[in-house]
A = this chain, B = another copy of it.
Amino acid sequence: MAERSTAAEEKRRVILDAAARVFARKGFHTSRVGDIAEEAGVAHGLLYHYFASKDEVLETIFREHWSSLLERIHAVESSSGSVEERLRGIASVMFEGWRREPDVVRVVVREITRSSEVEERVGELVKPIGAIRRIIERGQEEGVFRRDLDADMSAIVFYGAIDELITGWVLGRLPGDDDAVAAAEHHIVAVVTSGLAAGGQRGKALRADVSA
């Protein structure tokens, strides 16, 4: 019976993965249930044994990815590193999702605002941004980050940068190999913390000098 349920679980996974690939390729609305079934190598009727509807398939992909993402984000948030390390950790978590399950990320990125009810998802989106905001606020409290800038808006900037990089990879506009992802991780934190200004670069050095 456990074996049974495992076999069923596997078939469910097969359909889910197939759906992620198809949605990633054609978008949710343009994908037909038959496309998913074909990609999964099953009859389209079978999909309704495992899911109530096409919508539920998207919801499931979204939920599974999103919850594990949030978990890892919260782990980073409550880790003991410096605020800078923690920001890098957030980017790392999100980029890692991309490297491991590019199709799923592609779908989540592209369909986030469309997956049935926008409002529900908006609440969800707030979560990673909230984590980023809290890290930044902590940084401000610690005196590491400037206090004249709104933490929420800064969090949006950081998250937006991550999102755009992933979108770049998703759309194939940007090379998304491991090296590029690692570079992006470094880059995004560097820009957001120290800024582009030539002085910002020196900022670190100066502090380093001081510590020396």
Contact = CB atoms under 8 A, between A and B. Distances in A.
Interface string A135-158: 010010001111011100110111
Contact of A197 (B161, B163, B174, B200): B200
A46 interface: no
B183 A150 contact: yes
A125 B167 CA distance: 11
A199 B191 contact: no
Copies of the protein in its oligomer: 4
Interface in A173-204: 173-174, 183-184, 187-188, 190-204
Q: Which of A159, A183, A194 has its CB near the most chain B CB atoms (within 10 A)?
A: A194
Contacts of A27: 113-114
A32 to B, nearest CB: 13
A43 B159 CA distance: 44
Contacts of A165: 153, 156-157, 160
A157 B204 CA distance: 20
Interface residues of A, number: 59
Given A122-B171, A200-B197, A187 B146 contact: no
Contact of A156 (B143, B148, B149, B168): B168
Nearest to A28: B29
Given A153-B165, A199-B204, 18 more contacts: A27-B114, A29-B114, A143-B198, A145-B196, A145-B198, A146-B200, A148-B201, A149-B191, A153-B183, A153-B188, A154-B191, A158-B161, A159-B164, A160-B160, A164-B164, A192-B192, A198-B207, A199-B207
